[in-house]
Structure 1
């Protein structure tokens, strides 16, 4: 039986974006799902609950003790995001794990809360031009890139995604991703009727980071669809390799955290009971 990779690769890799599209779970459903996972092996893979400012007051009425990252999109006023985060920070029994803000003028005000801040940059050269400003904050801030399509944006191209990862590695900054990463292996989603879309796999992102760190072919890692090739490379990572890669690629948001967990189990990378 093939060996299992180090668990460090997957610990808190998946942030819980249950209330965001396309999952669109209600807040009560999202909290119930978290409560059901608590104390199970699957909970090791899942990070904080990602919530928009509009749901914070309702979330703080829950008595289960939530770990929350407040997420503001480009259309959300920055002051509204910060005010919601302050409410979480002040709420007894809950914990503010971070903020996610768009790269808008004044985003640096989010640093006043002294929690990790992720700044979402657009794909392409315009987004990469913002990365040196993130690097200036010496580890207080990470970059965020949207890897799933939206009505306004397509999935970023392989060259743009590879360049983003490479630039982050070269500047010494960490990043997180959001959207489109439900599956472990790169694949084509949809069909001719609904519109086919090329999507990345989260294992390919891990391997792309390793390639960038070692001077390898980042684009090839992002586009590798061979399950054996990808899983063998994942299994070959040492504990030190895994820690180095995860210090760069911190997490990705997913609306149904069991999708990536089930994929890992199906590929034999975690025990079936963990899923």
Structure 2
């Protein structure tokens, strides 16, 4: 697996639409750990509100669970003999720049990377600027942004132009980001059951690659409309661009861990293809 796709997918099996029960999500995660596919981060995403439910199921003597915490409650201990929290994600819900500032202040003492999700709208790019300013002030506590690419209603899916504005702002300000929701397949498609148009995760990777090469929002937005040419464009990325791309796009959460692997193989980007 090429660096541009390696370690791209976090395990979000607890979240919709899959929303596995805790036991089933952990069983699947353990199977993935055993298979060790390089496209997966092998990091388990868990809401803080369900931490006790998770902690009670961790087995003594097994490899420590690598966790990403979604901060919807009290932050759990960052480390024990059974787990290690590698990053924290903060969904904001409602609020603008003041909410971002409050989150950054509230998590100031958290020593692991914290990814703050700005509220969609006119303040989103300004919020990324706030995160960039925080990074400059305190390099020991890395902070990043988070973008939501879909959800359970049509309005949760941002337009390509909106995603392009987010990605280019992160690239221009040097703010790494994570993505979540809606990225079920490699390329854009319309879900037959809901009628929602989903973005492709390969399109997001390509958009990030274009942004780190200095392209502006209008050109980057075109990546979200592209289809069949995206795999070939990713295959042609120079090694240094691929490295910078993944330094900016840290990973995305997927409720399925099989589908991204199958999609990459389908489009000829599996082992040895790049």
SS at match of 1:130: helix
Equivalence for 2:134: 137
Does residue 236 of the first structure (1) align with residue 229 of the second (2)?
no
| TM-score between both structures, scaled by the size of structure 2 | 0.85
Listed as ranges, the matches of 1:1-275 within 5 Å are: 7-42=2-37, 44-61=39-56, 62-63=58-59, 64=62, 65-72=64-71, 76=72, 80-82=73-75, 84=76, 87=77, 89-103=78-92, 104=99, 106-108=102-104, 109-138=106-135, 140-151=142-153, 153-190=155-192, 194-216=193-215, 217-226=219-228, 229-271=229-271
Query: Partners of 1:122 and 1:197 in 2: how far apart?
Result: 21
Query: Partners of 2:79 and 2:197 in 1: how far apart?
Result: 42
User: What displacement does 1:242 show?
Assistant: 1.0
CA RMSD of aligned residues (A): 2.0
Q: Which 5+ residue runs of structure 1 have no aligned equivalent?
A: 1-5
Query: Partners of 2:258 and 2:268 in 1: how far apart?
Result: 15
Contact 2:70–2:90 (8 Å) recurs in 1: yes
Query: Partners of 2:131 and 2:191 in 1: how far apart?
Result: 32
| TM-score between both structures, scaled by the size of structure 1 | 0.85
Cα distance per residue 1:55-83 (max 9 Å; x no partner): 211222311321111103xxx3xxx232x
Query: Partners of 1:123 and 1:266 in 2: how far apart?
Result: 33
Query: Partners of 1:160 and 1:44 in 2: how far apart?
Result: 27
Q: Which 5+ residue runs of structure 2 have no aligned equivalent?
A: 93-98
Contact 1:37–1:43 (8 Å) recurs in 2: no
SS at match of 1:111: coil
Cα distance per residue 1:97-134 (max 9 Å; x no partner): 11111343621222312001010112232222211110
SS at match of 1:253: strand
Q: Provide the aligned length of Structure 1 versus Structure 2.
A: 252
User: What displacement does 1:257 show?
Assistant: 1.4
Query: Partners of 2:41 and 2:262 in 1: how far apart?
Result: 13
